[in-house]
Structure 1
Amino acid sequence: NLYLIRVQFPCFTPYSMAMPPPLLRLHPHRLLPRLRRFTSGPVLLRLNPKSLYATASTSQAAPTPPPQPPPHGPSLRRGRPTTGHPPEAPLSFSRTFDLAALRVPAAACASLERRLRGHLLNWPRVRNIARLPNDDGDGLVSLPTSPGSSSALPPTAVARREKLAREFNARGFVEFPILAKMSRPAGRTRREMKGRAAGGKETKHEKDKVYVVEVLEQGGEDDEDEWKGLVGEEGFGKGAWRGEPTRLLLLDEGHANRRVDELPEAVKVVLEHEANQGGPFAYELVQCQLTLFYDYWPMNEVLEALLPEGIIIPAGFETVGHIAHLNLRDEHLPYKTLIAQVVLDKNKPKIQTVVNKIDAIQNDYRTMQLEILAGHDSLVTTVIESGLRFQVDLATVYWNSRLSTERQRLVNNIFQNSDVVCDVFSGVGPIAISAAKKVKYVYANDLNPAAVEYLEQNIVLNKLERKIEVYNMDARRFVNAMYSSQHVHPVTQVVMNLPKDAAEFLDVFRGILRNRQTGHIAMPKIHVYGFSKAEDPEYDFHERINLALCDSVMGVEMHRVRLVAPGKWMLCASFTLPESVAYAKANYITC
């Protein structure tokens, strides 16, 4: 069913009028899917060469436009930067945003916040209420007063304390001790007032601020001092409210530079309803500036602003105690000190040292070559995992915090209370010590003397000396010693957590029980770890296990632990040691 389709190009000039139009041999059902009946005669298709040319030209890759700032919310690509600072200074990350706010009485602030929540500022770590540090009148509990007494609170802390003393006897202060505490100013406030009285200045550096709110428009000349120095989360500023305590409700950024009559109807209805409830109520719409400082911005936004365009931003890092362990790419190395300083600044005080791995693990002790980029020089730290404490020195031992979930899977889901665990590659003891809290007994071994030293310290630190026995020898010698000695508990679980080479040590189990003269021994369950880059990693790892044991092992349970690199999986294979392997003769088969 092939048809000759005559294609006419009315605007195509290379063909003369005497030349016939070109013929294309096409399948009609592919060109016209809905054509299902026989068609007699040529099918004419009118094509526009200009549209074809435009389609071909637009198919070329266009240059990627620069990223546009988000239309709403805080961003370093929005707002007005603070001028007069070098680019590497923290103050160069200050951004100022224009906002509108409602000045309302402090007593009505809480109820208005609940009712106007959908129209208030909703930015991370920015409170939508701005207040002064000495605005503590709203926090006091209202006390019962006599009909002739005034309901207004005394203006000073001393007067409030005397008022409490007059209205409460000694028993009352015992029953309500919090009232006496609330009537006294906080210790920090007293120190600040004493420093201002002595003419001292604030000792807090400006880079420690998170944000600050400042009012631009005042109600009059008399209120100029009253509106200065509105504070944010950090509680710094100057000036004080006079008269009735008032606060600011920061409106959404979409309401900036608006008048009162331009506010949404929902906001107007709430304000009118509050005014009709009775009692004096007044509000004022003012224009403010919200300044976000360096400490406000998250790590990824700061790195995006500092690093050149096109470089992938480091997404995260591994935390080992107070140490941040980075794996920087080659393109990040020229900026490694800058990246480390940002990581240190944004994760204080938890992170005190930032290191980068220089080279892959290539020695038998599994120690990493680390470079200290920022913070303290010591690599000795304490790691808390599942309620247990581990002393670790990253310069001499191996630790991987990303395997904590896998360790808990073994302890919680596989190990039983009656098990005897043999940890062939224990390191500083994350699996051995965690298992000792649950199982009957643990035998732990490692080739690294430094790891064994820290393992013994961690056993004492977690008070498990009676349930763990430590060895420092080669893995094959250790396994042979466990099954040749008559003074050890029968091993029921064997853990071989050395992903790079653990499968090669499985040959030690071939014929491990051939010289035992005792009765039947229960076969242990082996948990061996390994890496695989194959398309079918489970099949590849299973074949390596069969090759190491010189036998076909059945009933192998495969578990994917984590994806360590693109296309490279870390696997855990769990299987019961076959009796044909454990009792194999020395000359049974040659592998």
Structure 2
Amino acid sequence: MMIEGWAVRVQKVEGERRRQELIAGDALDRTLHPRAEGSDLLIPVTGSPPGTERALFEEIQVPPTLPRHEQVGGIAIMQENDVSGAEEILKGRPSTHTVLCSEGAVKGEFRTKSFTTLAGIPTTRTTISEYGHRLIIDLSLAYFSSRLATERQRIHSYIAEGEVICDMFCGVGPFPIALSDRASWILACDKNPAAIHLLRENLLANNTGNVLPMLGDASHLGELFPDTFDRVLMNLPLIAIDFLPIADQITKPGATIHLYALQEQEGEYIDQIRSIILESTITERYLRSYSAGKWHAVYDIKKD
């Protein structure tokens, strides 16, 4: 719908400079879109200062403020059991098919969560897109964090063509699928059968043929698989450090290990890493805040 308002008429080439002047003078009408008219630009303004004219503008639609939630594919996750708020989210986000309430922290052997459906389709399964890849996930069956998408691209940028990689705790496969176009092949291990099932679906969905799914306990990798690797991923933040001797065992000299950890102070695991891998270069990186006084970090460990 078009709305009549006051406008300043300027040539298009002068449009941005004049708009900044109007912003500085607190005279820009931020509720209306500027409109081109031939070689001119009509900029909406508040009031009617000299040199203005009446013009029709398209109103800027301000999206409604929705209750706090995390969006994962077509699922919105709330921390509060707020049914009315869930209905608002469902109406305000057309691509959302389900609103869930998280019933607590990640728990159990397979790092899963429980959820209650507040609105929409009662499901914990959805599909997300991440840097050109399609990932099928089920939030109640296998752990997944979309917050590491940028981290996956960082690791991708480090990989040399033809590397052999092991993901010790692969989940539904976001790291292996993101890295597969540069690696020679990738061993993707997880002890959660549901995660491996979803991984197989995701490999098919992304036409990925150089990832080998393996259902098994990473603590036995040295016994179960005879090969050694150029790079190992250890994204099991609560206890990954316990598996570092295995990662050391299955990596070649000069290999890189990416150890993910939740910590309360900078460098919390450096001494422990050095006691296990005696000759190495360690780079610690902050990823994100996890909770009050605790953050998610990654240690890039380059074996000498």
Whole-angstrom distance in 2 between the partners of 1:251 and 1:529: 51
Partner of 2:136: 391
> Matched residue of 2:300: which SS?
strand
2:181 is aligned with 1:430: no
> Matched residue of 1:524: which SS?
strand
Partner of 1:545: 273
CA shift in 2, pair 1:565/1:101, >3 Å: same
- Of 227, 237, 248, which residue of structure 2 is paired with 1:499? 237
CA shift in 2, pair 1:251/1:456, >3 Å: closer
Deviation of 1:341 after TM superposition, in Å, equals: 2.4
2:204 is aligned with 1:478: no
Structure with the largest fraction of helix: 1
CA shift in 2, pair 1:101/1:320, >3 Å: closer
2:51 is aligned with 1:266: yes
Partner of 2:71: 319
Whole-angstrom distance in 1 between the partners of 2:205 and 2:270: 39
> Matched residue of 2:30: which SS?
coil
Kept in 2: contact 1:120–1:128 (CA 8 A): no
Whole-angstrom distance in 2 between the partners of 1:461 and 1:251: 48
2:29 is aligned with 1:122: yes
Q: Letter of the 2:271 partner, please give it.
A: E
Whole-angstrom distance in 2 between the partners of 1:251 and 1:320: 37
Partner of 2:64: 298
> Matched residue of 2:71: which SS?
strand
Partner of 1:574: 300
Cα distance per residue 1:23-45 (max 9 Å; x no partner): xxxxxxxxxxxxxxxxxxxxxxx
Whole-angstrom distance in 1 between the partners of 2:159 and 2:119: 41
Cα distance per residue 1:86-110 (max 9 Å; x no partner): xxxxxxxxxxxxx9746xxxxxx99
Whole-angstrom distance in 2 between the partners of 1:435 and 1:251: 48
Deviation of 1:353 after TM superposition, in Å, equals: 1.6
CA shift in 2, pair 1:372/1:113, >3 Å: farther
> Matched residue of 2:183: which SS?
coil
Partner of 2:84: 338
Partner of 1:456: 200
CA shift in 2, pair 1:423/1:251, >3 Å: closer
* Structure 2: runs of 5 or more not aligned: none
CA shift in 2, pair 1:499/1:553, >3 Å: farther
> Matched residue of 2:136: which SS?
strand
Deviation of 1:555 after TM superposition, in Å, equals: 1.8
RMSD, aligned CA: 3.4
CA shift in 2, pair 1:377/1:436, >3 Å: same
Deviation of 1:379 after TM superposition, in Å, equals: 1.9
Cα distance per residue 1:374-431 (max 9 Å; x no partner): 222122211111111111111211111111011111111x211121001100011110
Deviation of 1:366 after TM superposition, in Å, equals: 1.3
Deviation of 1:509 after TM superposition, in Å, equals: 4.9
* Structure 1: runs of 5 or more not aligned: 1-98, 103-108, 130-137, 140-248, 256-262, 272-282, 304-313, 514-520, 579-591
Kept in 2: contact 1:429–1:444 (CA 8 A): yes
Structure with the largest fraction of strand: 2
- Of 249, 258, 270, which residue of structure 2 is paired with 1:527? 258
Deviation of 1:291 after TM superposition, in Å, equals: 10
Kept in 1: contact 2:33–2:44 (CA 8 A): no
Q: Letter of the 1:434 partner, please give it.
A: A
Kept in 1: contact 2:180–2:208 (CA 8 A): yes
2:175 is aligned with 1:447: no
Kept in 2: contact 1:533–1:567 (CA 8 A): yes
Deviation of 1:361 after TM superposition, in Å, equals: 1.0
> Matched residue of 2:187: which SS?
strand
CA shift in 2, pair 1:251/1:432, >3 Å: closer
Q: Letter of the 1:494 partner, please give it.
A: V
Q: How does 1:98-113 map to 2 (within 5 A)?
A: 101=5
Whole-angstrom distance in 2 between the partners of 1:562 and 1:291: 38
> Matched residue of 1:556: which SS?
strand
The higher radius of gyration belongs to 1
Kept in 2: contact 1:299–1:343 (CA 8 A): no
CA shift in 2, pair 1:429/1:479, >3 Å: farther
Deviation of 1:545 after TM superposition, in Å, equals: 2.6
Whole-angstrom distance in 1 between the partners of 2:93 and 2:279: 48
Farther off after superposition, 448-457 or 376-385 = 376-385
Q: How does 1:499-518 map to 2 (within 5 A)?
A: 499-509=237-247, 512=249
Whole-angstrom distance in 2 between the partners of 1:362 and 1:527: 23
Deviation of 1:502 after TM superposition, in Å, equals: 0.5
Cα distance per residue 1:157-208 (max 9 Å; x no partner): xxxxxxxxxxxxxxxxxxxxxxxxxxxxxxxxxxxxxxxxxxxxxxxxxxxx
Kept in 2: contact 1:319–1:401 (CA 8 A): no
TM-score where L is the length of structure 2: 0.81
Count matched residues. 286
Q: Letter of the 1:493 partner, please give it.
A: R
CA shift in 2, pair 1:388/1:128, >3 Å: closer
Q: Letter of the 1:427 partner, please give it.
A: G
2:288 is aligned with 1:381: no
